Structure formats: structure tokens, C-alpha cells
Structure 1
Amino acid sequence: MGHWLDRNIIEPGKLPLLLALASFVLTFVVTRVITRLIRAGKGPFGNVTAGAVHIHHVVPGVILIVIGGFGAVAGGRHGFGSAVSAVIFGIGAGLVLDEFALVLHLDDVYWTEAGRKSVEMVVLTAALVGLLLAGFTPFGVNDLSEDELQNRAGVAGSVGVNFLFSLIALSKGKARIAVFGVIIPAVALVGSLRLARPGSPWAKRLYRRRPRARARAILRAYHHDRRWSGPRRAFQDWIGGKPDPPRPLERG
């Protein structure tokens, strides 16, 4: 284990990234445990307030991101200061992304259906950082040979093609595939070749006069959502807690 850590993490200078990821995941887990205890009315925890203002944990998270980010820039990639900055940045990122949905909607949607976006963002971020730790390089540059790496035109062409695949996948409504495709180009290639999701920019523009393609896209999206929405929601509930049921509409 020690040899693997030295060879794959410490020598390539990835220790700060590992520390940032570990502190990020740990902060998210601890934060969710505390918020779920507060929600259940258990334990010594409570909401932080300043007068009548509820101080959300995204506020100290932003401050910690700023401190850790500038500390990392000033301290370089090696040394004790870099490790401390990485931990501070990871803690701040965990606090901020735990309330990503609040920032997105500018509303306290933490325990609503919209709040699931926070869990999705945390899982996506952790997965992407994990791929970087595993040795994947954005746009598949790590797949090039030594001769290709020395050829700037070849590198630029490879990056441009992979980026184009990711953009096509994004225009087809496959945001997750587009993001992962930046790290693993084969994923973006598959996403760019498959049918677009209904309502995506690609479908609106190119399927408008192709009723068969539009019908196939709707059918495929229906079967995909029916197959995976249940397991995905159960996984999100297990990680972040089940959202509150929607409030019934008041009759005037």
C-alpha cells in the first residue's frame, strides 16, 4: 500500500488532490449527518443564526474555498502548506456543494425535490476527482503516444475532437455524459452518437421534421428514466436523506 501511494500519489504530486477529495467527502458526510439530526430533532445540534438570519453552511464554505484556493496558489504543489490548503479547500467545497441546490435556486430547497441537485453534484464531483486521481487526463491526452505528445498539432487536434464530442453530447441533453466525456473521451463519443433526449437543443433543431427520430427519442428516454429513476432516487435518499413530501395546495 505504501509503495502504491508513493508511486501513484506522492511522486506525481497528487497528494493535495487526494487530501482535498478526502476532506470534501468527509465534510459532506458529516454535514449530512448533522443536518439529518437537526431535521429529526435529535442531538445537540441546531441551526446557526445571526439574529433572525439563518446562516447557511454555504457561507463559511465559500470563505474556506477562497482561503484554501489562494493558499494553494501561493504555496505551490508540494510542502505542508499545500496539504493544509488542500484540506481547507476540500472542506469548503463540501460545504458549498452540499447546498448547491440552494445557490442554484436562490431559495432554501435543502429538503425538497429540488434539493436532490446537491447530492447529484457532490457525487459527480467526487467521481471526477477520483478519475483524476486514478490517472485520467482531461480530453484523453494520456492516451497519446510520446511522439504524439511532442507534436503540438496532434495534441491540439485530439483535444479539439474530444471537446467536440462532449459538446455534441451536451447539446443532446446528456450533461453527465458530457462531463465524464471530458475525462474519458470514449464516453463522450458514445453520448454523441446516441439519440438526443426530447427537449434538448439537438432534438428541437434536428428532430423537428423527423417524426420517427423524435418518437424513438421519446420512447428511449421514457424507458431509460423508468429503469433508472427509482434506483437513482433511492441512492440519493440513502446518501442525503429523503426530501419532504410536497405541501398540498391551499384552497382559497
Structure 2
Amino acid sequence: MAPSRLADGRFLPGSLPGRARRRSLTRFSARRDLGSAWAKHIDDQRQERALLSCAAFTGTFALTRAITHAIRDGRGPFGNVETGGRHIHHMTFGIAALLATGYLWMNEVGVGAGHDGPRASRVTSGLYGAGSALTLDEFALWLNLEDDYWSQEGRKSIDAVVVFGGVLTLAALGRGLVRELVGTLASPRWLRASRRARRLAARRPGASMRALVGG
């Protein structure tokens, strides 16, 4: 008996024989599980955009470093990008990606507003993360205006990547927590307690913590 198909052309898993059925069940299960996990932990579009930017940033930076090390060691098919004898640094492509993303967002394309669909929002978020990684990977070069990628000064690029990557990670995973903490610290109750703690600290050292916790 021929396997049954769904309306979109896919085979029904139960109608496939043997090994094909197992592969299909695995594929269906993985897709369902991934979709369920994504929907469970990514509760709004801004968080999704931040997560995609963070993933693109991390992946692009890791891939760029792997390629540059391979070029330096003479391994693999990779080589420097040159035109007319001029070396084109990869931060050039990063700047171009950031300019393109900024232009699209300025014209409200891929901003997650809903009128152009989620795909454009995801693409521009990934483009922003990748462009940021390519640009910051050569942070020391555009800071010092010297090609010091492999020197001690080039470590500044790593520092910049770590800092910016931390910001993206915080935006992707901890935005709700940060928003709650900021709201708490800005609440009238906390501000009154803080003022009371400062007054007590000026008069009685050691009493400020009790004032903050309401003791």
C-alpha cells in the first residue's frame, strides 16, 4: 500500500514503512519539541529579536575567529579578501551590515511591528548581530587606526566583544528580571527606604541595612 500524504505533500508518519517511519517520527517530534520550547521560553517578539541577535553575534564571532586563525596558520581553503592589492578587513562587511540594518529599521522594515511579518524581523535581528560581531572583532583597529589584530593591543577587540556579547545576552535572557529590578529600585517605597537609610547611616553607622529591609 502506498504511503498516505497530507494536503501539503508530506507523508503521514503512520503510513510509512520501517526505517522511513522512524525517521519521520523523529523529524516530527523534534520539530514539535523545538517549537514548543521556543514558544514556552520566548514570550514576546522583542525577546526573540534579542535572542536571535545574540545567537548571530556569538556564532559569527566564533566563525570569524576560526577562519582568521586558519588563514594565519595556512590551513584550509580560506584567504584574505583583497581587491587591487588592498586588504579588505572583515569589519568593512560588519559596517555594511549595520548600515543596511539601520536603513531598514529607519524605514520600519523588520522592526517587529507586525506589518511585515516575523521573518523580516528575524532576518534583520540576525543581520544586526552578525554585523556587530564582524565590526567589534576588529575594535582595536578602528580604535588605534593600526592593524594590530594579532598584537597585545588586539586584545581590546576581545574585551569589546565580551562586553557587548554580555549586553546582548542580558537583553535576550534577563530582560524581565532587569525590568523588575529597575522597577523595584525606582518604586516610591524603595526610594523612601533608601533616603531613610542614608539619614540613619549618617547618624548611626551600621543601621542602614536594617532601614532598607524594613527592620
TM-score range, shorter chain: 0.5 to 0.7
For 1:28-69, what per-residue CA distance to the aligned partner results, in whole angstroms no more than 9, with x for missing partners?
Answer: 011100100111011111111111211000111100011123
Unaligned runs of 5+ in 2: 1-33, 193-215
2:49 corresponding residue in structure 1 = 16
The answer on whether the counterparts of 1:68 and 1:87 sit within 8 Å (CA) in structure 2 is no
Q: Unmatched 5+ residue regions in structure 1?
A: 159-252
Q: Which runs of 4+ in 1 moved over 6 A?
A: none
Q: Distance in 2 between matches of 1:28 and 1:145?
A: 34
Residue 58 of structure 2 aligns with which residue? 25
Separation (CA, whole Å) in 2 of partners of 1:54 and 1:80: 34
SS of 1:143's partner is helix
Distance in 1 of aligned mates of 2:80 and 2:138: 14
Amino acid at match of 1:91: A
* 8 A contact 1:71–1:81 mirrored in 2: no
Q: In structure 1, which of residues 112, 134, 138 is the aligned counterpart of residue 151 of structure 2?
A: 112
**Mapping of 1:132-143 within 5 angstroms?**
132-136=171-175, 141-143=179-181
Write the distance in 1 (CA, Å) between the matches of 2:170 and 2:183. Answer: 20
Corresponding residue to 1:131 among 170, 189, 199: 170
Counterpart of 1:44 in structure 2 is 77
User: Structure 2 counterpart of 1:82, which letter?
Assistant: S
Which residue in the other structure is 1:82 paired with? 121
Structure 1 residue aligned with 2:90: 57
Matched AA of 1:93: S
Q: Which residue in the other structure is 2:213 paired with?
A: none
Tell me the distance in 1 between the aligned counterparts of 2:45 and 2:101. Answer: 21
CA distance in 2, matches of 1:29, 1:42: 17
Greater C-alpha radius of gyration: 2
- Provide closer, same or farther for how the CA distance between residues 130 and 53 of structure 1 changes in structure 2, counting only shifts above 3 A: same
Aligned residue-pair number = 153
Give the 3 Å change call, closer, same or farther, for CA 20–48 of structure 1 in structure 2: same
Which amino acid in 2 is paired with 1:45?
Answer: F
**TM-score using structure 1 length:** 0.53
- AA at the equivalent of 1:122: V
Do 2:47 and 2:171's aligned partners in 1 also have CA atoms closer than 8 Å?
no
Match 2:137 to one of 98, 114, 117 = 98
Distance 1:12 1:4, change over 3 A: farther
CA distance in 1, matches of 2:73, 2:129: 27
Instruction: Give the letter for the 1:48 counterpart.
Output: V
Report the equivalent of 1:195.
Answer: none
- Residues 1:29 and 1:105: Cα distance change in structure 2 (over 3 Å): same
Give the TM-score taking structure 2 as reference length: 0.62
Q: What percent of counterpart residues are identical?
A: 34
Distance 1:124 1:104, change over 3 A: same
Is the alpha carbon distance of 1:13 and 1:107 closer, same or farther for their aligned partners in structure 2, counting shifts above 3 Å?
same
| Farther off after superposition, 124-133 or 71-80 | 71-80
